[in-house]
Amino acid sequence: MKILVLFIIFALVFYFYYKTKYFRTRRPVEKQWLSAKSSMALGLFVGLFGLNAFFVHPSTISYVIGTILIIVGGGSTWAGFRAYKHYQPLVIKEAEQK
């Protein structure tokens, strides 16, 4: 499952990218928007890590932990997506004002 490991690495890189942009921006709404994007990336990382646990060590404990990680990662991704959709028009309006 090398492709899964590649997706995990990409999700982690995007998380750090968005967190770096979050700390560098001065606009308050854009900060929230970037935080939502980083939350989605972190949720994908955790969910994909849980999915990877199914294939690395096929045992009952691994399945339980993997399921918990997938649920937590999915919840974080969903909450980040909802926040992203909420802040997106506000970010556009904020950018037009400055």
pLDDT, tens digit, 9 for 90 and up, residues 42-72 = 999 999 999 999 999 889 999 999 999 999 9
Task: Report pTM.
Answer: 0.90
- pLDDT 10s digits, 11-42: 999 999 999 999 999 999 999 999 999 999 99
C-beta contacts of 53-58 below 8 A and 24+ residues apart: 55/1, 55/4
